[in-house]
Amino acid sequence: MSTTGVQEAIIEAATGARNCALAQYSKFCVGAALEAEDGAIYTGCNIESSAYELTMCAERVTIWKALSEGARKFTRIAVVADTERLTPPCGACRQIIWEFCGDIPVILANLRGDTETLQMAFLLPRPFDADFLDEIGDEK
């Protein structure tokens, strides 16, 4: 499959996942799709709770699903929302994407067909990760 075809497939998967969102409070439905190194695509949607702090974003649902099924290396993630401006991952999702996926391409898309691809390092410059924890061990 061509690079364009792969991008279309992952956006389509994220769009389909968006249809399963449980956003009864915000009405802000988001879908995400994560491609593993072996080509498998994992999807997720945002799920809201009346206790807002328990709400989970689509990106984290997607990553948790992939990890829980044994996937460990990822090549790209797509995020789809019904907004005019393309919606990037929130700060918490950026941290989780960096920690579990590294500097992968992040494809932003909306239902109008607009897309933009950004590297994770652009969205989360100077990230905190396990390398900092390793430094603590080196000081002992």
Q: What is the pLDDT of residues 49-85, one digit of tens each?
A: 999 899 999 999 999 999 999 999 999 999 999 999 9
Selection from 29, 104, 28, 108 nearest residue 66 by Cα: 104
Catalytic residue selected from 12, 48, 53, 59: 59
pTM of the model: 0.91
Quick one: fold of 3-139? Cytidine Deaminase; domain 2 (3.40.140)
Cα 98 from Cα 112, distance rounded (Å):
28
Q: Is 48 a catalytic residue?
A: no
pLDDT in tens, 91-138: 999 999 999 999 999 999 999 999 999 999 999 999 998 888 887 766
- End-to-end, the C-alpha distance of the chain in Å comes to 50
All structural domains of the chain with their residue ranges: 3-139
12's enclosing H/E stretch is helix 3-18
